[in-house]
Amino acid sequence: MGSGVTQALVDYAAPQPGLRILDLATGTGEPGISLAQRCAPGGTVTAVDLSAELLELAAGRALKKNLSNFFTQQADAHELPFPDRSFDLATCRFGVMFFGDVKQALAELQRVLKPGSRACFVVWGSFEQPYWQTTMKIVRRHIGGELLDPGQGDPFRFAAAGSLSEALRSAGFRGVEESTQDVPWVWQGSAEEVFEYACAVSTPFRAMLERVPEAKWPRIRDEVHSAINRYRVGDEIQFGASVILASGKA
């Protein structure tokens, strides 16, 4: 479902053959895998995440694509295990919002980038968009209370225009740029499947979902499925997504 976001970030980062690239909070491997395909020959991608389990999945996906220039390393973005000036480009897809100390993590990223190298980010725009409005907003309307679990971070931390740019400048990045872009956000399957997926992977909403009484779930699911199906086009559910792309130079 996030392939449109990945493509937007890769295009924005504009990787070139021969570059040494760092992908922060890579999860199951994107955009690192796509970047590895674009920076060959001669370039490499080091994909970093806190989760060894996710990195194992990322390595397996890269292996299936016969990528010999994609490497994984378990690490914390706040304390990267790399020498100063190690990388020519850095990317982070839907990760910076969850860093415990954003300024420290960005300063650490700046440290491992070569002078003049870019760090490129993509984050969620407003909560007020189709994917979230047809899922988590409906759940909250039925049960009230807090939308997000404070202990799990805020996916919309940088949704306000200019907020990510300000964080980059505060960390010392130069030539900061930011723009909002509408990208495909497509589910190839049923409304039931997309809601099940949303509930399974949306960790920041977990506490809210656990508050739902069992008796309320049938009505919530009916309303959610109906709302999602308004975006159905043939065999696909075409939500679309509004994301923010930002970059700065070390």
For the domain that residue 242 is a member of, what is the CATH number? 3.40.50.150
How many domains, in total, are found in the chain? 1
pLDDT at 204: 94
Can you give the pTM of this predicted structure? 0.95
pLDDT-derived band at 151, boundaries 50, 70, 90: confident
The alpha carbon dihedral of 172, 173, 176, 178 has a sign of: negative
The whole-angstrom separation of Cα 233 and Cα 202 is 24
pLDDT in tens, 62-103: 999 999 999 999 999 999 999 999 999 999 999 999 999 999
Mean predicted confidence (pLDDT) in 178-207: 95
User: DSSP for 217-237?
Assistant: HHHHHHHHHHHHHTTEETTEE
pLDDT at 152: 82
Mean predicted confidence (pLDDT) in 201-228: 96
Q: Cα-flanking dihedrals φ and ψ of residue 148, to 5°?
A: -115, 150
Task: Find, among 179, 37, 168, the residue nearest to 113 by Cα.
Answer: 168
Mean predicted confidence (pLDDT) in 238-246: 97
Q: Contact at 8 Å (CB) between 227 and 134?
A: yes
The whole-angstrom separation of Cα 223 and Cα 139 is 9
Structural domain including 146 reads 3-249
The per-residue pLDDT of the chain, averaged, comes to 97
Q: Contact at 8 Å (CB) between 250 and 116?
A: yes
The whole-angstrom separation of Cα 128 and Cα 137 is 9
Mean predicted confidence (pLDDT) in 151-164: 94
Q: Cα-flanking dihedrals φ and ψ of residue 111, to 5°?
A: -60, -40
